[in-house]
């Protein structure tokens, strides 16, 4: 049977989601704990591959297991996992459902603070650029929805045999005040490229600083060249907050 697992994690001490050699990742911890508790080797597939230091308020992954899942597995798993990872739910889905490829929308939020606070540094970026023209940043953000190829905001693939598909459909992107001295950037799309969100944010901040114009921002998009945009904001402020699936994935 195929199962979905819903979880959240603090990404500060992880080298991203995907398993890598000699470093700690969320996927590696989850696979290890599930394999121990279910007493068989478990491979999981995540809905997204968050980068080093990026957080998730909602992440989904799938795994296959041929026996019945006991009701207390979630509680046992949370005891076994590091404090920085929490599992909310484990539930069966149809056999052909894929956590990554069947997701129809993903939402990221990025928190930017303009007031230095040592107690916020793990979950927001202290942006010392003053002032920021939020109106211009929002005008530029809306331009993203007019394009599909976001090669300019994607890290180059290290595997030359891996085919590039830099086409994404962005449904929503805007800046809004979250609370005093905190700005939140929300972006929704069907998929995201590696470091795409943080690269877009860095470029939008240059718009807000009047370092580049809105037309220059548009030109960067249209160049479709990753060399044209090298500004990537820190990972600490970025959260994967929601992943949506079709309603018919459940058994």
110 assigned to a ligand binding site: no
CA distance 173 to 121: 24
Contact indicator for 239, 57 with CB cutoff of 8 Å: yes
The tokens for 25 are 């990742």
Q: Which of 51, 64, 149, 174 is catalytic?
A: 51
Euclidean distance between the first and final Cα of the chain, in Å? 10
Of 102, 94, 103, 74, whose CA–CA distance to 8 is shortest? 74
The tokens for 87 are 């599992």
- Residue 51 annotated among the catalytic residues of the structure: yes
Residue identified by tokens 């960067």 is 220
CA distance 172 to 156: 25
CA distance 182 to 113: 4
Please enumerate, by residue number, every residue annotated as part of a binding site for substrate. Answer: 108
Please enumerate, by residue number, every residue annotated as part of a binding site. Answer: 108
Residues recognised as catalytic: 51
């Amino acid at each position: 049977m195929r199962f979905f697992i819903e979880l959240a994690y603090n990404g500060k001490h992880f080298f991203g989601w995907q398993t890598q050699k000699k470093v700690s990742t969320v996927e590696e911890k989850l696979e290890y704990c599930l394999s121990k508790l279910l007493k068989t080797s478990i491979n999981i597939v995540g809905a997204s591959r968050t980068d080093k230091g990026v957080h998730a308020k909602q992440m989904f992954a799938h795994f296959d297991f041929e026996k019945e899942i006991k009701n207390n597995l979630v509680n046992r798993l949370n005891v076994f996992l590091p404090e920085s990872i929490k599992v909310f739910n484990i539930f069966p889905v149809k056999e052909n459902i894929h956590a990554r490829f069947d997701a129809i929308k993903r939402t990221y939020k990025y928190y930017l603070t303009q007031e230095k606070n040592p107690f916020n540094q793990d979950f927001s970026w202290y942006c010392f650029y003053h002032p920021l023209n939020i109106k211009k940043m929002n005008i530029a953000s809306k331009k993203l929805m007019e394009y599909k190829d976001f090669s300019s905001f994607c890290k180059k693939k290290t595997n030359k045999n891996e085919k590039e598909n830099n086409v994404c459909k962005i449904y929503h992107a805007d800046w809004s005040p979250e609370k005093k001295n905190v700005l939140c950037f929300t972006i929704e799309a069907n998929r995201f490229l590696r470091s795409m969100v943080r690269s877009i944010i860095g470029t939008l901040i240059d718009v807000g600083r009047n370092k580049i114009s809105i037309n220059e921002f548009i030109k960067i998009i249209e160049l479709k060249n990753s060399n044209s945009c090298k500004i990537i904001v820190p990972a600490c402020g970025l959260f994967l907050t929601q992943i949506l699936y079709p309603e018919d994935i459940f058994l």
